[in-house]
Amino acid sequence: MIGFFLIIVLIILFLVYFKLNGSKDPCHENSHFQPAPLKIGHRGAAGYCPENTIASYEKAIELGADVLEVDIHLSKDDVLVVHHDPTLNRTTSGKGNVRDYTADELKKLDAGSWYHSRFKNERIPLLSEVLERFQSEAGFLIEIKHPSLYPGIEARLAEELRKFTEITSVHTPVMVHSFDAESMKRFHLLMPDIQVGVLIKRKIDDEALKEIAKFAAFLNPKQTILNPKLQLRIQKHGMKVFTWTVNNKQRLRLFEKMKVDGIISDFPDYFSD
């Protein structure tokens, strides 16, 4: 009888140990971000300010964002600039392609008046400026936009992040993602210590998930295709689960209950306290 109870005690101890130690996600063990879900400010706080501007990132911090989502392109003189579209027409006083302007020329454009006259002094920031300014206030989720337009942009970003790491005294969490899986594979080879992810907006099969999981730490499906079944499939391949862009409070609560790892929103104040 004593032997039976001893076996039961050992089983209970084993289960407790496994729960505390064996079920840890290795991707999370090396992450310096706080527990999920991360509150990720989409282009800053794009629901309140002109996207991808200093004003937008300041607002996101004010509203409690853990991470700032930053879109990047390369200027004509190979400087990483923070902007969403490959063209300037929609959100600036300029016209044409970002890549046809030098960084100095881009910084002279008005990037705020399109949203509201009170933002008329907002400019297109450099990635280096955003990293330096907010390094002690939030992490960064950098999206490489249209990498096929900018051969070598992955190496340029790696160079920028190495420089940033060397000059800062603050350990700032940084992640990188893109819709282009091959771009993320290239960047991962250059900087394997930085977590990379892939954005998707259509259904994905297990074979594709398996290939992405070879280099990616997270997958970022559009909110309209994310459900518990897809979440489980992604997690079974050892990746974290993010989603974008969630601007409905009820839907945001749903993803919080699903315990996804990060939620991207134009409204960082919509998250639960």
State the catalytic residues.
42, 84
Through-space distance between the first and last CA atoms of the chain, rounded to whole angstroms: 51
CA contacts within 13 A on the Cβ side of 260: 30
CA 84 – CA 143 distance, rounded (Å):
9
**Helix 127-134 / helix 153-167 crossing angle, nearest 10 deg:** 30
Q: Provide the 3-class DSSP secondary structure of residue 38.
A: strand
* CA nearest neighbour of 143 among 220, 201, 252, 48: 220
Instruction: Give the relative orientation of helices 127-134 and 54-62 as an angle to the nearest 10 degrees.
Output: 30
Tell me how far CA of residue 134 lies from CA of 34, 97, 115, in angstroms: 17, 27, 23
- Separation between Cα atoms, residue 268 and residue 39, nearest integer Å: 6
Between CA 189 and CA 84 the distance in angstroms is: 25
CA distances, 263 to each of 39, 66, 67, 161, 215 (Å): 6, 10, 10, 24, 21
